[in-house]
Amino acid sequence: MEKRKLGRTNLDVSVIGFGGIPIQRVGKELSHELLQEAYNRGINFIDTARGYNESESLIGEALEKIGRDKFILATKSMKRDYNGMTEELNTSLKSLKTSHIDLFQFHNIRTLEELDFIMSENGAFKALEEAKEKEIIKEIGITSHSPEILDKAIDTGKFSTIQCPYNPVERQAEELFKKAKDMNIGVIVMKPLAGGAITKGELSLRFIVDNPNISVVIPGMDTLDQVKSNTEVGINIRKLTEEEGSILSEEANSLGTEFCRRCGYCLPCPQKIDIPTQFLMEGYYTRYNLKEWAQSRYDAMEYRAIHCIECGLCETRCPYNLPIRKMMKNVVEKLG
């Protein structure tokens, strides 16, 4: 497996990492088998999160058997305040059955105001800085669907890594990745298959790893066949042929006008609906086979697609001219 430097962390990470979202649905025995096979085939980087239900716990139990030292371990939290982040970090350490976490990330920073708050006196960054001083965590990272927010974040000089969606459909972060590489900041790619919308998985992964500014890509895996096919991309790196590139471009183009890139420009909604998250949950429900997980999170939202009054303001803001009102109706049909 090809290894790349994770920016200034100086950690050598496998170019294919293990995305921890789908492991929550497979149970203890298969979780162990998946991570053991991943290790056997050269993966040394795991990404999970507090919000992925049992993911941290299943990974922690598997690492007890395989060996904690075999992997570079990354997790993340949605907490924005000092006390909340301190509590989440302690929970992660317990769930992952470890004394330290290699990379702890701020999960899904969605606005510049959120970024400002986490960096404030009572913000969560202070909690992670203190944990880093105690060597409880080694590095601090940040994830977002917005290249603009990540661009501002790396300008602070406080983050060792960034994590952002990137695939043949979502290429808006390419300039950001180049800037991050020049600043010696590690680049982690999530959503390599665009939330499951891209069916040509091998081609998409090959497209991603061909970008020299990327450190590691983290496809989610819940079968041994997926582990084998995904790791093969990092073991035998091959450029796309002209024909393969055309096939991939054709599929990317076929997603066309009704594919949400989660840029957030449609917000704020007058009805307080988090519009991109509606489409994200619908994607998890229909494409990731995480029906129960997506449904529970959708149901827990106070303002959902069902509350859309079809005012159309969001459509005037969308840089991709998406038919958001029509797409919201589709969410209602799937999730209620």
pTM for the structure as a whole? 0.82
pLDDT attached to residue 263 = 67
Of the candidates 80, 55, 93, 85, the residue with the CA atom closest to the CA atom of residue 293: 55
The reply to whether 224 and 284 lie within a common domain is no
Q: Is 5 left (phi over 0), alpha (psi -120 to 50) or beta?
A: beta
The reply to whether 182 and 126 lie within a common domain is yes
Q: Which amino acid is at 43?
A: I
Total structural domains within the chain: 2
Strands 45-47 and 101-106, by their bridges, are unpaired
The reply to whether 235 and 294 lie within a common domain is no
- Buried-state track 64-84, b at ≥16 Cβ within 10 A, e below 16: eebeeeebbbbbbbbbbbbee
Q: Is residue 236 part of a domain?
A: yes
The reply to whether 237 and 294 lie within a common domain is no
The reply to whether 234 and 327 lie within a common domain is no
pLDDT attached to residue 317 = 84
- Taking only the tens of pLDDT, the chain with its 336 residues reads 999 999 999 899 999 999 998 898 888 999 999 999 999 999 999 999 998 889 999 999 999 999 999 999 999 999 999 999 999 999 999 999 999 999 999 998 988 999 999 999 999 999 999 999 999 999 999 999 889 999 999 999 999 999 999 999 889 999 999 999 999 999 999 989 887 778 899 999 999 999 999 999 999 999 999 999 999 999 999 999 999 999 999 888 877 657 787 667 788 999 999 999 999 898 888 876 788 988 999 999 999 999 999 999 999 988 667 899 999 999 999 998
The reply to whether 70 and 164 lie within a common domain is yes
Q: Which domain holds residue 140?
A: 3-246
The reply to whether 221 and 282 lie within a common domain is no
Q: Is residue 264 part of a domain?
A: no
- CATH code of 237's domain: 3.20.20.100
Query: DSSP of 225-282, one letter per residue?
Result: HHHHHHHHHHHS--PPPHHHHHHHHHHHHHHGGG------TTPPPTT---HHHHHHHH
